[in-house]
Amino acid sequence: MTDDLYRIWVYLSASPLLALTATLVAYQGGLWLYEKSGRRPVVNPVLIAVGLLVGLLLVTETRYGDYFEGAQFVHFMLGPATVALAVPLYGQLRALRGSVMATVVAIVLGSLTAILSALGIAWALGGSLQTVISLAPKSVTTPIAMALSDRLGGLASLTAVAVIITGMVGAIAGGWLLDRFGITDQRARGLAIGVAAHGIGTARAFQVNETTGAFAGLAMGLNALATTLFFAAAIAWFG
Partner 1 sequence: MLRYLTILLVCQLVGETIVTGFSLPVPGPVLGMALLFLGLVVRRGGSPGLDDFSRGLLQHLGLLFVPAGVGVVLHLRLLAEAWLPIAGALLFGTGLTIVVTGWLMQRLARPPLPNPSGEGGR
Subset of 98-137 contacting partner 1 (CB under 8 A): 98-99, 101-103, 105-107, 109-110, 113-114, 117-119, 121-128, 131-132, 135
**Other beta carbons within 10 Å of 28:** 12
Mapped onto helix, strand or coil, the DSSP state of residue 79 is helix
Pick from 64, 69, 60, 38: nearest CA to 50: 64
Site for partner 1 in 145-164 (CB under 8 A): 155, 157-158, 160-162, 164
Helix, strand, coil share (%) of the chain residues, nearest 5: 85, 0, 15
CB closer to partner 1, 7 vs 76: 76
CB closer to partner 1, 8 vs 86: 86
Residue 11 CB, nearest distance to partner 1 (Å)?
22
Residue 154 CB, nearest distance to partner 1 (Å)?
12
Residue 153 CB, nearest distance to partner 1 (Å)?
16
43 scored as a contact of partner 1 (CB under 8 A): no
Site for partner 1 in 78-97 (CB under 8 A): 78-91, 93-95
- Report whether 114 contacts 195 (CB < 8 A): yes
Site size for partner 1 (CB under 8 A): 120
Residue 13 CB, nearest distance to partner 1 (Å)?
15
Segment contacting partner 1 (CB under 8 A): 5-13, 35-43, 207-215? 207-215
CA–CA separation, 121 vs 115, rounded Å?
A: 10
Query: Which residues have a Cβ under 8 Å from the Cβ of 51 and sit 6 or more positions away?
Result: none
CA–CA separation, 7 vs 13, rounded Å?
A: 10
Segment contacting partner 1 (CB under 8 A): 5-13, 35-43, 46-54? 46-54
CB closer to partner 1, 5 vs 94: 94
**Other beta carbons within 10 Å of 65:** 7
200 scored as a contact of partner 1 (CB under 8 A): yes
**Tell me, what DSSP letter sits at residue 139?**
T
Out of 50, 133, 137, 149, the only residue in the binding site for partner 1 (CB under 8 A) is: 50
- Report whether 138 contacts 166 (CB < 8 A): yes
